[in-house]
Structure 1
Amino acid sequence: MLTFTLPDGSSVAVEPQVVCNAGYAGRDQAAVASHIAELAELGVPAPAVTPSLYPISPYLAQQTDEVVVQHGRTSGEAEWALIVTGDTRDDVLLTVACDHTDRELEVHGVAWSKNASPDVLGTAAWRLSDVADHIDDITLSAWVGHGSDTADTLIQSGTLGDLLSPNYWLDVLAERKLLREGTIVISGTIPMVEGIDQFADSWRVAMTDEATGATIECGYRVARMPEPIG
């Protein structure tokens, strides 16, 4: 069960039923195609269609401060998330998210890599209807940490206008009869700053409504599992 605190101090609890991660979801699909070509050179298989939508296990939608991983080549992605709390578009919350992804597994299948680690969600949310008229201006930023002795480094910065809109994905949900309580869609991500080590000890993502100054954050440390035997 996930619980979200709203600006008026009330809270909404939702049990995830269907969770989907969007991929290649930039609003500029020409730039997306260029990015896919770059990834192909690194061995990441190209999607059959763009944008893509990958179902993941519902238990992977988590509100946690620690993500446990199997090796050192995993990283987060700054995203937003839609939380459907009822059967209409008026029953949708917006929060911040960080999609932690296994980059080693990604070269074998993006859908597999998305199921290897949690999607970390914020504990606060806004009603989508309350920010819909300026949604594109909301900013999205991520910072990574490398050890306790160094300051966090900005690795992603953009706006929700860089990504396909929440309404685009609500249309997809409605078409697939998934616009119902417990459905969660996570947006896909914005580009990373070149030259920053994404394989970090911690991730922090912030989504800021520039109209009000309100910010929703999520953050977590990355912990390695013990080495396997056998």
Structure 2
Amino acid sequence: MQFKTPTGVLECTPDTLIVAGWTGRDRAAVDHHIEELAAIGVPAPSTVPLYYQCAASLLTRDDRIEVLGGGSSGEAEPFLLKAKGRIWLGLASDHTDRALETYSVAHSKQICAKPVADTLWLLDDVIDHIDSLQLKAWIREGGDWVAYQDGTLASILPLTELMAGVTLDEGTAMLCGTLPAIGGVRPSADFKMSLTDPVTGKSIEWGYSSRVLSVIS
């Protein structure tokens, strides 16, 4: 994969993908959410946070993905990549099959592609004000784009803390958790997201659409 960076084009094909879950900084809110999901059949995590292992081949730059059935949805998340001996920050969507979540969260994440934006920043360049970075997402409903996620990285566990929970070797990518969905989690064929640095005014933006495949039985 090729990424635009402040130092030029970076080429890297990740060989390991970790999807961090249950990463909210407010532990009481996380526990409440776990209870809510348990009530609808979603198994509780064994630990918090939890690091799901997924195939690195799920990472995609395509602006269109294919999903099985109509029950999946995107999640804008910070994206970390260890490449060329440095740690880079970007933006990705942890697209997830919500129906499959009630069987296994790990399986629900493995079944969907993970769209990744084409731009990376050096983590060192933003680490001193990283909590102020703004993460947003929109979905298309009724022909209009509506706000779906909106907040700062202060709502997520510090990325340095998340990295300390895994081995971030060369070629390892990690999705770092997300923000609550405004109006609740729901599917949409069109999804777009942004990560904005209020100090520099720079943004990483990406969008994609989903083509629903019929579930044949």
TM-score over 0.5 for the pair: yes
Q: Which residue of 1 aligns with 2:165?
A: 172
Contact 1:144 1:198 (8 Å CA) reproduced: no
The aligned runs of 1:89-128 (5 Å cut-off) are 91-128=86-123
Q: Which residue of 1 aligns with 2:206?
A: 218
Task: State the Cα distance separating 1:226 from its structure 2 match.
Answer: 4.5
Give the length in aligned residue pairs. Answer: 217
How far apart in 2 are the matches of 1:144 and 1:194? 11
Determine whether 1:135 maps to 2:134: no
The structure 2 residue matched to 1:23, chosen from 14, 21, 24, is 21
Q: Which residue of 1 aligns with 2:49?
A: 51
How far apart in 2 are the matches of 1:191 and 1:201? 19
CA RMSD across the alignment: 1.4
Q: Which residue of 1 aligns with 2:182?
A: 193
Relative distance call for 1:227 and 1:107 in structure 2 (3 A) is closer
How far apart in 2 are the matches of 1:13 and 1:161? 30
Q: Which residue of 1 aligns with 2:82?
A: 84
Which ranges of structure 1 fall in alignment gaps of 5 or more residues?
A: none
| Fraction of identical pairs, as percent | 36
Contact 1:103 1:113 (8 Å CA) reproduced: yes
SS in 2 for 1:152: strand
Task: State the Cα distance separating 1:7 from its structure 2 match.
Answer: 2.8
Per the normalisation by structure 2, the TM-score is 0.96
Instruction: String of CA shifts for 1:42-98, please: whole Å, max 9, x gaps.
Output: 1101011111110001101111101101111100111011010144xxx01100111
How far apart in 1 are the matches of 2:134 and 2:193? 10
Please tell me the residue identity of whatever aligns with 1:180.
D
Per the normalisation by structure 1, the TM-score is 0.90
How far apart in 2 are the matches of 1:55 and 1:14? 19
Please tell me the residue identity of whatever aligns with 1:133.
D
Q: Which residue of 1 aligns with 2:58?
A: 60
Which ranges of structure 2 fall in alignment gaps of 5 or more residues?
A: none
How far apart in 1 are the matches of 2:165 and 2:99? 30
How far apart in 1 are the matches of 2:15 and 2:134? 28
The aligned runs of 1:141-180 (5 Å cut-off) are 141-146=136-141, 150-173=143-166, 178-180=167-169
Please tell me the residue identity of whatever aligns with 1:166.
L
SS in 2 for 1:168: helix
How far apart in 2 are the matches of 1:222 and 1:47? 28
List 4+ stretches of structure 1 deviating above 2 A. Answer: none
